[in-house]
Structures are given as structure tokens and as C-alpha cells.
Amino acid sequence: MTRFALTLEFDGGAFMGLQRQAHGPSVQQAVEEAVLSVTGETVTMHAAGRTDAGVHARAMRVHVDVTKAIAPFRLMEALNARLRLAGFPIAVLASEEKPDDWHARFSCVGRRYLYRIVNRRAPLTLDKGRAWNVKGGPLDALAMHEAAQALIGKHDFTTFRSTQCQSASPVKTLDLLTVRREGGEVLIEAAARSFLHHQVRSMVGCLALVGLGHWRIEQMREALEARERQALGHNAPPEGLYFMQAIYPDEG
């Protein structure tokens, strides 16, 4: 048995989510079926993050265990060929062997997300399904960045947590939350050991309220301290969210 760590890029708009679902296509199902097709083996894919329907990945890390003798590069090439044939917008960017105790989810000590806002009145064309189109005036990215800093550190993030969140505790440590403008876009980066369900989208939704002037900068801290979902201002849509990086101790 060999444990293979794969790096996946995918267009989340084509899936009901990363995890296997009863009611529609998932990244997990697509990859597991591609592995079955290549190796003849029924495997279970484990991932660093369980992204929702519509959420994209530039570098999701997953692992599968395979008995058949196959080199990492051959597995990657064969999976890409199968995924392409099946019409799934998933690409395997890297593939490597890992020790049996390496786990895509449980060994992961850091996750990084990017959220893209295209801030303009006109509808999206080239970026449709790839960003959140925020109309209603220019976002004040500096105010958003300042408001974001109230969330840094170890907090009870109940306000920013989906009611369906399965995490044992609402307490998380947010390491980074930056907001910057690049031309017509406002880019938000978030990093933590782990996130609650909907946490990034909930934080971004409230930051947008600050950026539009509907919330004072201090309301971000007030929302956090309220520790209740009713204090949430807005949940940003999934199509602007990208899983960018999973960090592991053995990879420095």
C-alpha cells in the first residue's frame, strides 16, 4: 500500500462540494472514480479542507492509498487523462509518495484562502463564477483591512460559523486576514490552522459591509464579541473563494 499526496486544482462551480454528496457531483467522487479507473481499486479520498459547492481550489491537498505499484508521476498523468475524459474540471498538479502516517487532513497545520471581489457596477464576463461582484459603490479597502484586524488571534467565532458547522469548538485562532485593492479588485487573504464552516465567507461578507460604509469599522469587533449567528451581517457567496494552500510540518 502506498499513500499518495495529490495537489488538486478545481473549478468548484461544477460540484456540489468537495465531499461526496448523495444529490450531485463532488470532487471526492470524481477523484475516487478516476483512481478506480486507473488502478481498479476502490479508495477513499481525504482532503485538507471540505470546501462547499462553488468554492474553488488552486492547490487543495488530498491523499489516497493505492495497492497497485505505480509511480507518482504516472498516477498523476493517468488521473488527469481520466478526469479530462470524464469532463470534470479537476487537474492534478502534483503527486508524491508519503509515509503511511501522513494525513491530508489531520497532518495539516495551516490553511490559506483567497477571496476575490470584483468591485464594479457592470456584470462580470471573464470572471463570472470566479469572483463576487460587489456593486453599490467603491469599497474602502483600507477600512476593511482595519476592521479585519479585530478578528486576528484566538476567539470564539460563533458569529462567523454556519449553523451546520460540525467543529467541536467555535474557538479558532486566526493568523492572518488582509484586505488590499488591486485595480478594480479587492483581494482578501485569510490564514489559520483551521477554519469553521463558512468562516471565511462570513468574515468577507461583513468586511464588505464595512467597505460599503454600511458598518462602522468597530462593528466588526462588536459582531465577533456578540458570539451569535444573528450578529452576522452577510455571508459572501462561494464563487469568490479559493483554497490556496495547505501547510504540513514535513514540507517546511
Does position 122 interact with a second copy (CB under 8 A)? The reply is yes
Pick the binder of a second copy from 125, 163, 164, 169 (CB under 8 A): 125
Does position 31 interact with a second copy (CB under 8 A)? The reply is no
Q: In angstroms, what is the minimal distance from the CB of 95 to a second copy? A: 10
d(CA 178, CA 193): 16
Question: Bridge partners of 152?
Answer: none
Does position 89 interact with a second copy (CB under 8 A)? The reply is yes
Chain-centre distance for alpha carbon 5: 18
Pick the binder of a second copy from 68, 74, 128, 180 (CB under 8 A): 128
Does position 185 interact with a second copy (CB under 8 A)? The reply is no
Q: Based on CB atoms, which residue is closest to a second copy, 121 or 154?
A: 121
Does position 33 interact with a second copy (CB under 8 A)? The reply is no
Which residues between 130 and 149 bind a second copy (CB under 8 A)? 130
d(CA 231, CA 205): 12
Pick the binder of a second copy from 58, 103, 227, 229 (CB under 8 A): 58
Secondary structure of 13-47 as H, E, C letters: HHCCECCCCCCCCCHHHHHHHHHHHHHCCCCCCEE
Does position 92 interact with a second copy (CB under 8 A)? The reply is yes
State phi, psi for 82 to the nearest 5 degrees. -65, -45
Does position 56 interact with a second copy (CB under 8 A)? The reply is yes
Pick the binder of a second copy from 2, 11, 19, 65 (CB under 8 A): 11
Separation of first and last alpha carbons in the chain: 25
Does position 114 interact with a second copy (CB under 8 A)? The reply is no
Extract the C-alpha cell encoding 51: 470546501
Stretch that binds a second copy, among 42-50, 84-92, 145-153, 161-169 (CB under 8 A): 84-92
Does position 90 interact with a second copy (CB under 8 A)? The reply is yes
User: Shortest CA distance to 233 belongs to which of 244, 242, 222?
Assistant: 222
Among the options 11, 52, 65, 175, which is catalytic? 52
Query: Residue 74: CB partners within 8 Å, gap ≥ 6?
Result: none
Residue 248 annotated as part of some ligand binding site: no
Q: Does 52 participate in catalysis according to the annotation?
A: yes
Chain-centre distance for alpha carbon 122: 26
User: Shortest CA distance to 30 belongs to which of 40, 41, 15?
Assistant: 15
3-class secondary-structure state, position 230: helix
Pick the binder of a second copy from 3, 4, 5, 10 (CB under 8 A): 10
Q: Do residues 43 and 31 lie in contact, with contact meaning Cβ atoms separated by under 8 Å?
A: no
- Site for a second copy, rule CB under 8 A: 9-11, 56, 58, 76-77, 80, 83-84, 89-93, 120-126, 128, 130
Residues forming the active site: 52
